[in-house]
Amino acid sequence: MNLNKVTLIGNLTRDPIGRKLPSGQTITHFGVATNHVWKDSKSKERKESVEFHNAVAWGRLGEIVTSYLKKGDKVYLEGRLQNRQWQDKEGNKRSRSEIVVNNLIMLGKASAVKEKVTTDAQKQMAPEEVNVEEVPVVEAE
């Protein structure tokens, strides 16, 4: 049995870039930074390192990332690790490791995200008209 699973909590390093492919599918690229903190055993000093990860989200998830996230936002994401290789315009071999995201939770700044989601949802919802005469009356016993 094999397992290819990545789980990260980190901050976006740049604004997401979304685009539509000729097939109509949406793809969004973004970067995530994670840090690691430890205490040096010899000097007893606190040390920290930062890792940078490339991430890609497809379809509706990619649209959500593009609409609601920006540089600096904290996210929890799950996905799988993928390595790609290609030749650039000059004929050089290029490669890239990236996380193909299949689950994402927006963390931090909840009020700002909630406000934007609520505003966008209100714009998409048509007002519903209700005829008072059609509302069923329930009599108390």
pLDDT of 17-50, one tens digit each?
999 999 989 999 999 999 999 898 888 899 999 9
Determine contact, residues 53/96, Cβ cutoff 8 Å: no
The CATH homologous superfamily of the domain defined by 6-110? Nucleic acid-binding proteins (2.40.50.140)
Residues 52 and 48: their CA atoms lie apart, in Å, by: 14
Model pLDDT, residue 31: 96
Residues 78 and 70: their CA atoms lie apart, in Å, by: 18
Amino acid residing at 81: L
CA Rg, the chain, in Å? 22
pTM: 0.71
Average pLDDT over residues 68-77: 94
pLDDT-derived band at 95 (thresholds 50, 70, 90) equals: very high
Question: Could you tell me the residue ranges of all domains in the chain?
Answer: 6-110
Q: Tell me: the pLDDT tens digits for 80-94?
A: 999 999 899 999 999
